[in-house]
Homo-oligomer: A and B are copies of this chain.
Amino acid sequence: MITLASDFPSPYPAAMRGVICARSDARIEDVAHDFPRQDVRAAAFWLREVLPYFPPATHCVVVDPGVGTDRSALVVEAGDHAIVAPDNGVAIPVARELVSGDGDSEAGAGSGGGADDDFDVWEIDYDDAATASNTFHGRDVFAPAAADAHDEGGPAALDRCHRTDEWVDLTFPEPDMVAEGARGEVLVVDGFGNVITNVPGDPIEGCEGIRVDDELIPVRDAYAARDPGDRLVTVGSHGNVELAVNQGRGDEAFDLSAGDDVLLEW
């Protein structure tokens, strides 16, 4: 199975799908093609949340603000999964999650994780300027590599891949845990408007309410435990503290966007 994830508007993902189908009989499943445009950290977050639910697969990921520069193209082997992606860190948190169940690990900060990480990184040689456009490596580099890595059993079987210890790391910011609270950050806002922070949910289990930027907000297990339009704090399906509105948008009600700081006190 090959999965596809990108920030490409239609019909660009279909060109990738065509390239894969022309090279491989692999089943194709979409992860998302509407990741926030060129937002590597948001894509890395969602991949870490979603890909581990799939059976072993080759995941083709293209969120690639550096397309056409000299950034490398990678195949990251993590457990029974392979992630084909640009070398901008987008594949790293999910790779850590797949091998250790700990995508938040700070191992390997900086460029290159090496011995601390249990996944293998391969670089794809695509310097054939005759075949790769400078603006659409999803179609011309990543999709063919994903199809071939899938069909041949991994990057080791591909002449155009070689092992590397040099790659761009990406870790999510850690919250600053303080006495009875945390200074955290908004990692992403989902399509419902739910505000997903980097603060782990454990400390607020059992709380009736917590202060969010100095305002007391009820903590609830489920959106529907509040009236429609009312705000709540919950532990989202990702395990982090989430700020939400039942049947409404938390980002608007809390006036928070990805990257904003948020102070939680319990």
Contact = CB atoms under 8 A, between A and B. Distances in A.
Contact of A18 (B12, B50, B225): B50
A49 B17 CA distance: 13
Given A69-B225, A221-B134, A223-B135, A38 B247 contact: yes
Stoichiometry (number of copies) = 3
Contacts of A133: 236-237
A123 to B, nearest CB: 19
Contact of A14 (B9, B30, B225): B30
Interface string A19-50: 10110000011111111011000000010011
Interface residues of A, number: 58
Contacts of A222: 67-69, 134-135
Nearest to A57: B21
Contact of A237 (B17, B55, B136): B136
Contacts of A52: 18
Interface of A: 1, 3, 5, 8-12, 14-15, 17-19, 21-22, 28-35, 37-38, 46, 49-55, 57, 65-69, 133-136, 139-140, 190-192, 221-225, 234, 236-237, 242, 247
Given A11-B32, A32-B10, A247-B65, A18 B51 contact: yes
B14 A55 contact: no
A9 B11 CA distance: 15
Contact of A29 (B12, B17, B32, B67): B17
Given A50-B18, A55-B21, A55-B22, A68 B11 contact: no
A55 B190 CA distance: 34
B11 A31 contact: yes
Given A8-B191, A15-B53, A68-B225, 9 more contacts: A10-B34, A21-B29, A21-B57, A37-B192, A65-B224, A67-B223, A67-B224, A69-B224, A133-B236
